[in-house]
Structures are given as structure tokens and as C-alpha cells.
């Protein structure tokens, strides 16, 4: 089976789930697609146990042709981050620059440490022996709020603009930071050498600072190229090259953070280029193109999250530990959000329940699964993969479904 056939099948299934949801259930599209794929996965697994293995074997063969990690991290992630950052208002982002910086950078690092230590102690109590360094790897991959999941939810929340900016701004930046932390720890595990603060700081600085600087360069290149033309098709092609070629160069040749580069270049393009260069018609074409790209890739990604259940090797002890990891991740999220935001609330007024909303609205999605799948084969990989899947599924389905009501409740209250 060719890659084209696999992607076509995935797109057809995702479209079927989205269509049925639109006609019957009226749920958020990404949640409905995930649930549809998960339900289909369970039916396929049950059919195998009931004596009809053909469907299970066919489905497994289908998804064996898709490397979820490469599909996301080295494929669609750059496009989705660029599309998401195009709509971020730079003035509002700068208004909350300290909050977003503390949550995205310091908060993600602190959450990695908190989840690493707490999960290690919990697993020791459950007699599941995973080294502390692998627990930190788990903390690094599960700490970032996934911008793909968050932005898909934010679009349908109709939340106050200030709250939307904080949620979207944090999620766009902390996934890049989380990936940098994960890559740094992964290098330590892979090399087998004891880490030094100098080596960790050098690698982190190269990935994070290099990604941001490279993103600025890409954004201004797009600005100067588009400034001298007045053709909507070529303007869109330039942005497409930034999101595809720019991401590839960052990851494969410069070894800087591609996600951070796409976020920064998308913000520059979305604010500087659109406001100063493009006509209203050009803006409309650009928005329509990237909204369509974002919607299609979103549906495919969330369908893959649901179908990934087929590939898991489940055990009762790992599933029980995975369920316990859900409140653990939420506690870590609350701690790392509440501490800085409580300090900022002394100086500025925010939407009511802002700490609760940021905690509960910090969704985890496909990015965490992709990082878990990139772990080296070994005795700990399947444990971490199951823990991650439990948290992601809870986050997308339960938190994604209920955070809309929480935001509505906060929006009705006067700013505090």
C-alpha cells in the first residue's frame, strides 16, 4: 500500500467522522474525530477477539505505513504552527509578554521537573521501575500544552481576547520549549554520558535561541519578497515555502528548533506582512488557504490519535498507572500556572478564574504522543507511551469538552 493510499484512507475516515458529527452530534470537530477513530479502533480490536481477525490485520497494515512521529514532528507540525501563529495579534501578545514568557519557558521547565519527580515516586509505589531520567523525559513530553489541540479548541470558545491571547501565545511557544527540553534529555539518554550544565545550556540555547532568531529572519524574508509583488497566488506560495522549506532547513541543516521558528515567522508574517503589504483581497486569500490547510491537517491528526489505540500493548498495571498520571499532570500544571499568575495578579487585572481556565484549558494532544513514540526501543518505552495516551485522551475528550463552559462562566464575571 502506498503512502498516498494510506493518507487518502485516513482523510476519508476523518471526513466521515466530521460529517456525522456535524449532522448528528454537534460536538467540537477535533473531539468528534478523535472519538470516532477511537470507537472504530475498539470495534476492530473486539472483532479480532471475537474470531474475525481480518479487519484487525488490514487496519494494522494500513497504519503501519504511517510513522506518527515523522508524520507530525517532521511533516505537518511546521504547517500547523505557522497557520496557528498567523492569527496571533502581536500587540496583544506583547501586552502579555511576561505572562507568556514565564508560562512557556519557566513553567514548562518547572513542570518537567515536577512531573518527573512525582511520577518517579508514584511508579515506585506501584512497583513499576522506570529510571528518574526517563521520568524527566516523560515530564518533558507531557508538560507542553499542545498548540494544535489548544488552538482547535480556542477557535470555538468565543473567549475574551485577552484570555485567548494568553492561552494561544503560551501554547504556541511552550511546545517549542518542551521539544527543546525533550531533545536535550533525549541526547543525554542516547549518549549514555553524564550530562553537564554547560552541555545542556549550550544545546538548549542553540535550539531555542537559534529557532527564534531563524524565525525572525524567515518572517522578514517573507515580508520583503511579498512587498514587491501583487499576485495572491505567489504570495501564498511564498508563505507555503516558509512553512515547508523553512522548517526542513531548521530541523535537518541548522539544528535549531523548527517549531519555534515557525511560530515566530508566522507571527511576523501575520502582523507585519498582512497589515502593511497585502491588500484586503490578498489577506482574504491567505486566510482562506491557511484555514483550509489547518482544518484538513487537524482532522487527519486527531483521527490518527484515535487510531493509535490499535498499536498499544496494554497491561492492567500500566493502564492503572496511566489513569493516576492524569491528576498528577493536572496538579503539576496547576502549580506551574498558579505561582507566576498569582504574582502577576498583584499588578494587573485578569479574566475571572484565569488560573483555573489556564490549568484546565492546557490541553495535551498529538505532539506529546509523537514525542513518546520517538523514544528509543527499550523496557520503558511502552510504559511511557500508555501513560501519555491516557493523559492525551482525557485532555482532548474531557478537558476539551468542558473547558468551553468554564470559559463562558469566567466571561460572565467582571474582570478582577
Q: In whole angstroms, what is the distance from residue 180 CA to residue 176 CA? A: 6
Q: Which pLDDT belongs to residue 410? A: 65
Model confidence pLDDT, tens digit, residues 198-233: 777 787 788 888 999 999 999 999 999 988 888 889
H or E segment and range at residue 90: helix 90-95
CA 360 from chain center: how many Å? Answer: 15
Phi and psi, residue 346, nearest 5°: -70, -20
- In a domain, residue 12? The reply is no
- In a domain, residue 335? The reply is yes
Q: Is residue 129's pLDDT more than 90?
A: yes
Q: Which pLDDT belongs to residue 157? A: 64
Query: Do residues 179 and 144 lie in contact, with contact meaning Cβ atoms separated by under 8 Å?
Result: yes
- In a domain, residue 29? The reply is no
Long-range contacts of the stretch 398-402 (C-beta < 8 A, 24+): 399/360, 399/361, 399/363, 400/28, 400/30, 400/31, 400/149, 400/153, 400/363, 401/27, 401/28, 401/31, 402/360
CA 341 from chain center: how many Å? Answer: 22
- Of the CA atoms within 13 Å of residue 98, those in its CB half-sphere come to 7
| DSSP sequence for 301-332 | HHHHHHHGGGG----HHHHHHHHHHHHHHHHH
Model confidence pLDDT, tens digit, residues 36-86: 999 998 988 888 777 777 777 777 776 666 778 888 888 889 999 999 899
Query: Do residues 128 and 382 lie in contact, with contact meaning Cβ atoms separated by under 8 Å?
Result: no
Query: Do residues 28 and 153 lie in contact, with contact meaning Cβ atoms separated by under 8 Å?
Result: yes
Q: Which pLDDT belongs to residue 89? A: 87
Q: In whole angstroms, what is the distance from residue 96 CA to residue 83 CA? A: 21
Q: Give the CATH number, domain containing residue 100.
A: 1.20.1530.20
- In a domain, residue 375? The reply is yes
Q: Which pLDDT belongs to residue 166? A: 84
Q: In whole angstroms, what is the distance from residue 149 CA to residue 156 CA? A: 12
- In a domain, residue 105? The reply is yes
Average confidence score pLDDT of the chain: 87
Q: Which pLDDT belongs to residue 191? A: 72
Model confidence pLDDT, tens digit, residues 249-269: 999 999 899 999 999 999 999
Dihedral angle over CA of 219, 222, 146, 71, nearest 10: -130
- In a domain, residue 3? The reply is no
- In a domain, residue 360? The reply is yes
Dihedral angle over CA of 68, 74, 78, 79, nearest 10: -60
Q: Which pLDDT belongs to residue 412? A: 62
- Proportion of the chain above pLDDT 90, given as a percent: 43
Q: Which pLDDT belongs to residue 138? A: 96
- In a domain, residue 361? The reply is yes
Q: Which pLDDT belongs to residue 391? A: 96
Residue 37's contacts (CB-CB under 8 Å, 6 or more residues apart) are 13, 14, 17, 302, 303, 304, 305, 306, 307
Look at the alpha carbons of 84, 202, 143, 315 in this order and tell me if their dihedral is positive or negative: positive
Higher pLDDT, 285 or 176: 285
Model confidence pLDDT, tens digit, residues 355-405: 998 999 888 988 899 899 888 888 899 999 999 999 999 999 999 888 878
Query: Do residues 336 and 149 lie in contact, with contact meaning Cβ atoms separated by under 8 Å?
Result: no
Residue 169's contacts (CB-CB under 8 Å, 6 or more residues apart) are 88, 93, 96, 100, 104
Query: Do residues 67 and 6 lie in contact, with contact meaning Cβ atoms separated by under 8 Å?
Result: no
Calculate mean pLDDT across residues 97-101.
91
Number of domains composing the chain: 1
Q: Is residue 150's pLDDT more than 80?
A: no
Q: In whole angstroms, what is the distance from residue 93 CA to residue 71 CA? A: 30
Domain boundaries, position 297:
68-411
Residue 257's contacts (CB-CB under 8 Å, 6 or more residues apart) are 176, 179, 180, 207, 208, 210, 211, 212, 250
Higher pLDDT, 277 or 133: 133
Q: In whole angstroms, what is the distance from residue 243 CA to residue 222 CA? A: 11
Confidence tier at 190 by pLDDT (50, 70, 90): confident
Q: Is residue 169's pLDDT more than 70?
A: yes
Q: Which pLDDT belongs to residue 201? A: 78
Higher pLDDT, 332 or 69: 332
Amino acid at each position: 500500500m502506498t503512502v498516498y493510499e494510506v493518507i487518502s484512507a485516513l482523510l476519508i475516515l476523518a471526513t466521515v467522522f466530521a460529517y456525522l458529527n456535524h449532522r448528528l452530534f454537534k460536538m467540537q470537530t477535533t473531539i468528534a474525530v478523535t472519538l470516532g477513530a477511537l470507537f472504530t479502533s475498539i470495534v476492530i480490536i473486539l472483532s479480532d477477539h471475537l474470531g474475525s481477525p481480518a479487519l484487525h490485520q488490514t487496519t494494522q497494515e494500513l497504519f503501519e505505513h504511517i510513522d506518527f512521529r515523522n508524520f507530525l514532528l517532521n511533516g505537518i507540525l511546521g504547517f500547523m504552527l505557522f497557520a496557528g501563529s498567523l492569527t496571533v495579534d502581536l500587540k496583544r501578545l506583547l501586552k502579555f509578554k511576561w505572562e507568556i514568557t514565564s508560562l512557556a519557558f519557566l513553567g514548562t521547565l518547572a513542570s518537567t521537573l515536577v512531573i518527573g519527580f512525582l511520577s518517579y515516586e508514584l511508579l515506585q509505589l506501584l512497583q513499576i521501575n522506570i529510571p528518574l531520567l526517563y521520568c524527566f523525559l516523560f515530564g518533558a513530553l507531557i508538560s507542553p500544552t499542545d498548540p494544535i489541540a489548544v488552538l482547535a479548541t480556542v477557535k470555538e470558545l468565543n473567549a475574551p481576547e485577552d484570555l485567548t491571547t494568553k492561552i494561544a501565545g503560551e501554547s504556541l511557544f511552550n511546545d517549542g520549549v518542551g521539544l527543546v527540553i525533550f531533545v536535550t534529555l533525549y541526547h543525554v539518554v542516547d549518549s549514555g554520558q553524564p550530562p553537564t550544565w554547560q552541555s545542556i545550556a549550550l544545546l538548549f540555547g542553540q535550539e531555542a535561541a537559534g529557532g527564534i532568531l531563524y524565525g525572525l529572519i524567515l518572517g522578514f524574508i517573507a515580508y520583503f519578497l511579498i512587498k514587491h509583488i501583487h499576485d495572491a497566488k505567489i504570495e501564498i506560495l511564498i508563505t507555503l515555502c516558509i512553512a515547508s522549506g523553512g522548517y526542513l532547513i531548521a530541523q535537518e541543516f541548522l539544528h535549531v528548533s523548527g517549531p519555534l521558528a515557525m511560530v515566530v515567522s508566522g507571527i511576523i508574517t501575520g502582523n507585519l506582512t498582512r497589515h502593511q503589504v497585502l491588500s484586503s483581497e490578498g489577506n482574504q486569500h491567505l486566510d482562506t488557504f491557511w484555514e483550509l490547510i489547518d482544518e484538513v491537517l487537524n482532522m487527519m491528526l486527531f483521527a490518527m490519535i484515535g487510531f493509535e489505540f490499535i498499536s498499544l500493548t496494554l497491561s492492567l498495571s500500566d493502564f492503572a498507572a496511566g489513569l493516576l498520571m492524569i491528576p498528577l499532570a493536572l496538579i503539576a500544571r496547576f502549580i506551574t500556572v498558579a505561582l507566576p499568575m498569582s504574582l502577576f495578579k498583584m499588578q494587573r487585572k485578569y479574566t475571572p478564574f484565569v488560573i483555573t481556565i489556564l490549568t484546565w484549558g492546557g490541553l495535551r494532544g498529538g505532539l506529546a504522543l509523537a514525542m513518546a513514540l520517538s523514544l528509543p526501543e527499550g523496557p520503558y518505552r511502552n510504559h511511557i507511551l500508555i501513560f501519555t495516551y491516557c493523559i492525551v485522551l482525557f485532555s482532548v475528550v474531557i478537558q476539551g469538552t468542558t473547558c468551553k463552559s468554564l470559559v463562558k462562566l469566567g466571561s460572565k464575571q467582571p474582570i478582577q
